[in-house]
Structure 1
């Protein structure tokens, strides 16, 4: 996943919250909690980054924490919140 391009699905909106954000998919009606502002920053930067690793770097995430972010991003991808469709290489 680190060397793949991902982006927030077009049907998903983020609503900022003090703890991070709520992600709501208007197609599936699925709701997810992004439990840190740092994770929200990574998710927002995915679409404009070359890959997930670049998004982590641009968001200032230390490499020692990448595995926990990758786990959170994989969970969002598995639920359809993130997509590779329409993301150009």
Structure 2
């Protein structure tokens, strides 16, 4: 499984439509976060210099932050999100 680099910038893979992102996140056993939250967070990634900055801006509690990182791990491993150039 791919490890998300919290200090790198990520974005939605240009080859991935948002409906694919939503479909991936409906599978809670893999994404562990509801679709609207993950879609909203992934969209916000492009506005931040790194995943860590996006997480800090989201002001998540420890448990929620860990769940978001786990969701990002899955999305990176499946190519739904990629590092930004």
TM-score w.r.t. the length of structure 2 is: 0.70
Alpha-carbon displacement from aligned partner over 1:10-32 (angstroms, at most 9, x marks no partner): 011113xxxxxx527xxxxxx51
Counterpart mapping for 1:4-23 below 5 A: 4-15=8-19, 22-23=20-21
Q: Which residue of 1 aligns with 2:60?
A: 62
TM-score calculated relative to the size of structure 1: 0.67
Q: Give the Å deviation of 1:71.
A: 0.7
Structure whose alpha-carbon radius of gyration is higher = 1
Moved over 3 A (4+): none
* Structure 2 residues without counterparts, runs of 5 or longer: 27-33
Larger fraction in helix: 2
Aligned length: 73
Which sections of structure 1, spanning at least 5 residues, go unmatched?
16-21, 25-30
Per-residue CA distance 1:55-89 (angstroms, 9 max, x = gap):
2233x2414121111110010000010111xx24x
> Could you say which structure has the higher strand fraction?
1
Larger relative contact order (C-alpha < 8 A, sep ≥ 6)? 2
- Aligned match of 1:33: 25
Structure 2: distance between partners of 1:11 and 1:36: 19
Question: What RMSD in Å do the two structures reach over aligned CA positions?
Answer: 2.1
